A and B are shown apart, each in its own frame.
Chain A
Amino acid sequence: MSNPLLTVSGLGKRFGGFVALADVGLQVAEGERLGLIGPNGSGKSTLVNCLCGTVKNDMGQVTFAGHKLNGLSAHQRTRLGMARSFQLPRPFPTLTLAENVRVPILYAADVKGRRAVSDPSERCDELLDMVGLLPKADRKPADLTQIEMRKLELARAMASEPRLLIADEAMAGLSHQEVDDILALLMNLNAQGVTIVMIEHIMRAVLAFSQRLVVLVAGRKLADGNPQDVIRQPDVVAAYLGS
């Protein structure tokens, strides 16, 4: 791999006696679209949390854009250019949509050394427009539908001007058409140069989106490679369907 943006090596995490992640190694190239799949409880969300600094990994090392991330808090990682959307949307309920998006603009996009946002209000509108929520800019998140909530989550993640976006099940519970909407949105972001790691259960979406597929099973990386090859691998099939 010529230019890895994210390198994960030997990552391990246990909760008491339960091993959530064991010796996970992973590289993501700049501009890549990576799909991350695995059965429930396989450690996908724990991996995301370790990458983003929400939980501390017990072993191993995460390197992002040349920075070693061990010991950095979540907000420092966001400022370095790693953004995430949450599996269950977590908007700021008392703030309007515009203000929701404004928080990362003020705290992550506009900090030293990175492309500063000259006009936060304009950027807010731009981001909300990108996900089609501009007409509701002054509404509160409680007024939104499920898909709009997901879109707000993505807009807020993008507001920190990330180089890497981790979309944690951004499509769970959405209809066929809505999945296509989000998919188009993510493809568009990727076309603008954002590297995207997509965690998803909807195989149709994962296969349409990913250039490369990584499979986690019981906290270990089972497969890594071309999506069509990976889903035919006997051990991957066994993990999903039972042998």
Chain B
Amino acid sequence: MRNVRFILLALAVAAVTLAVARLIDNAYVFFAGYVVLQYIVLATAWNILGGYTGYVNFGTAAFFAVGAYTTVVLHKTVPLMPLPGMMLAGGVISGVIGLGMGYLTLRLRGTFFSIATLAMAVVAQTLITNWYFVGGSRGAYIIRPSDSPIFSGDYIQYLFAIMLLLSVISVSIARAIQHSRLGYGFSAIRDDELAAEASGVPTLRLKLIATALSGGLMGMAGAPLPYYVTYLDPASGFSLSYAVNTIAMPLIGGTATWLGPVIGAVLLGTLQQVATVTISSALSLLIVGLLLVSFVIAAPKGIVGWFKR
């Protein structure tokens, strides 16, 4: 019941956000807002595996880009497919990759798991770079439709609305998990895997659920990307900054709860967008670095942890 109430509340917040953005009536608001929303999804997805279960994934870019390239493939093969369908497909493929990653790295813990995920991102990027059907290293051009298919307005408004909905979905999932049996299992794995097994927690199955769910949501977040950027090449799709941002946001916001990644993503994402416009785009990574260092020193449990003291 609490979950239903939360979803309704989140939908209301999303509706208000969309209405306000439309009132401002400036396309840039949608372009910038889309990126912030995308990071809410990525940070929330990362936190299911990294924060709840304790497995630090450096391969965000791989899941994200696989989602994006799924859209490139579908755009070329079934151009009439609506975007939500493509997102679902990207989510499923990334989820399966997450499942595979979880299975192959199940013996790895801590740093070793993180290195393996980073390596997986490199492998995926190499494969895509050499796949000519999706443009190879030259990249792929996608022509963005001019109008939104469901309401009057630009297509970017449609992308914004879709990402808003996906944010609501992922945050609701993360919140539901946090208060569920699954959430207790994840926490037990994060704290002590051996003791978790001894307490009856099927650690392998739960880890696979976490990797698949986290990867799937990241893939869904990446699927609309080709329509957003209109030109996608492996170097930008697999950019390390996705991985770095996605780790920094939950760490800044706090990894223990669903709220942390949301706060971190809104704060850091907005700051980066503002810095990109007012100062320079190169500054945004510097901001991440500085914030990360100061939070690790001053508030290792993030903003949420800071207030809970």
Could you list which residues of chain A lie within 8 angstroms of chain B, going by C-beta atoms? 52-54, 73-76, 78-79, 83-84, 86, 90-95, 99, 102-104, 106-109, 111, 156-157, 159-160
Contacts and interface: CB of A to CB of B under 8 A. Distances in A.
B196 interface: yes
Given A94-B256, A102-B184, A160 B199 contact: yes
Q: Which of B184, B187, B190, B204 is most buried by chain A, counting CB atoms within 10 A of its CB?
A: B184
B197 A91 contact: no
B198 A86 contact: yes
Contact of A75 (B181, B191, B203): B203
A94 B187 contact: yes
Interface string B188-204: 10111011111111111
Given A94-B187, A94-B256, A107-B181, A75 B195 contact: no
Query: How would you classify the secondary structure of chain B's contact residues: helix, strand, loop or mixed?
Result: helix
B185 interface: yes
A115 to B, nearest CB: 14
Contacts of B200: 75, 78-79, 103-104, 107-109, 111, 160
Given A103-B184, A103-B185, A106-B184, A54 B191 contact: no
Q: How large is the interface on B (under 10, 10 to 19, 20 to 34, 35 or more residues)?
A: 20 to 34
Interface of B: 181, 184-185, 187-188, 190-192, 194-204, 256
B181 A106 contact: yes
Contacts of A157: 198
Contacts of A92: 187-188, 191-192, 195-196
Given A75-B200, A106-B184, A111-B200, 12 more contacts: A54-B194, A73-B197, A78-B198, A86-B195, A92-B187, A94-B256, A95-B188, A103-B185, A106-B185, A107-B185, A108-B200, A160-B199
Q: Which of A91, A102, A104, A160 is most buried by chain B, counting CB atoms within 10 A of its CB?
A: A104
29 contacts: A53-B197, A73-B202, A73-B204, A74-B198, A75-B198, A75-B200, A75-B203, A76-B202, A79-B200, A86-B195, A86-B198, A90-B194, A91-B191, A92-B187, A92-B191, A92-B192, A92-B195, A93-B191, A93-B192, A95-B184, A99-B184, A102-B184, A103-B200, A104-B200, A107-B184, A107-B200, A107-B201, A109-B200, A156-B195
